[in-house]
Amino acid sequence: MSTAIARSSSYFPGIGVSITIAMAATFLSLRYGAPAMLMGLLLGLAFNFLMDSPKVLPGIELAANGLLRLGVALLGLRITFADVMTLGWVPILVVCSAVLLTLGFGIVVARLMGLSARLGTLTGGAVAICGASAAMAISSVLPADDDQRKETLFTVIGVTTLSTTAMVFYPLVSHFFGLSDTETGLFLGATIHDVAQVVGAGYSVSGEVGDLSTFVKLLRVAMLVPVVILIGLVARSRLSQRVDDARSVPPIPWFLVLFVALFIANSFSLFPATVVDVAASGASWLLLTAIAALGVRTSLKEIVGVGIRPVVLMAAETMFIAGFILAFILIYKP
């Protein structure tokens, strides 16, 4: 019992820092009308030096990962089947197609640039699906060596940096092209790399855009399992290396399962309106706290010193999926 208490208490400093930053972000949002999510991220970045403190690290990691996933799962109570049908089946199929095309684009362009197909697979999968989480899952089914570890680290750092940049600028792109709330939600959810930044960008525009962009993003997250299984099978076949079945089949993210369960329950009105309202409010606070923690643990200095070609590759993949989705929206007008 005492061990469990001691372990739990180790999270308090980091959680406390994240909550404090979230409260400051809320104050700035109310006082100046700035997006709370964006303020939380920027304030968090300013406190990155705290990551040098071992006392803060456990709580920051818990907030940036555990609280984020719980907050996203609770968002299932803010969406119903009726909301999904406002998007339509064609956009959903286009989003799924964008994932596969971006992955293929990354592999082809990597080879044309003289880079490894493995790097193209890592970066293309990270950009197409769910950022750093996808990079780690894909890396787990590829042959391990020093180059693979370096490429994975670069991909995680690069996709986080690009995703943070997209979180700030993509809402401005939506405004420039005069996209509706539905179109903006589709664009943000289908193009920004990490779940956290999709949430931040979406809710910085409006609650409706945030809900829809999160749903679209989770469509991409749902493709993680079949894509990683396919990559593992191809890698094993081409390199004639046996890969352990446990590594070949990554577990389905628990927050995705919970999100879907709550989404279905809410569609059939299985929860009282009071419970839904409280959960929705709690989700917003959890996500803001997670965004603050994400900012604290993000150091843009780490990307300095990486070769220019991998940076160009990942930027090209980012522009490819953004251009593909934006072209669809402007032509199809969902």
Confidence of residue 262 (pLDDT cuts 50, 70, 90): confident
- Phi and psi (nearest 5°) for 115? -100, 170
- The rounded radius of gyration (Å) of the Cα atoms in the chain is 20
Confidence of residue 230 (pLDDT cuts 50, 70, 90): confident
How much is the pLDDT for 85?
67
Looking at per-residue pLDDT, the higher value among 123 and 37 belongs to 123
Listed in sequence order, the residues at least 6 apart from 94 whose beta carbon sits closer than 8 Å to its beta carbon are: 190, 325, 328, 332
CA dist 162 and 98 (Å) reads 18
- Phi and psi (nearest 5°) for 254? -65, -35
DSSP 3-state assignment of 168? helix
pTM: 0.69
How much is the pLDDT for 323?
94
> What is the tens place of the pLDDT at every residue in 184-207?
999 999 999 887 788 888 888 888
CA dist 210 and 249 (Å) reads 31
User: Which pairs count as long-range contacts for 80-83, CB under 8 Å and 24+ apart, including other chains?
Assistant: 80/263, 80/266, 80/267, 81/267, 82/267, 83/211, 83/212, 83/215
Looking at the 3D structure of the chain, how many domains does it have? Answer: 1
Per DSSP, the residues of 107-119 read HHHHHHTT--HHH
How much is the pLDDT for 248?
45
CB 161 within 8 A of CB 131: no
How much is the pLDDT for 259?
78
CA dist 178 and 246 (Å) reads 47
Structure tokens at 229: 């299984």
pLDDT at 227 over 90: no
Domain range for 222 is 2-332
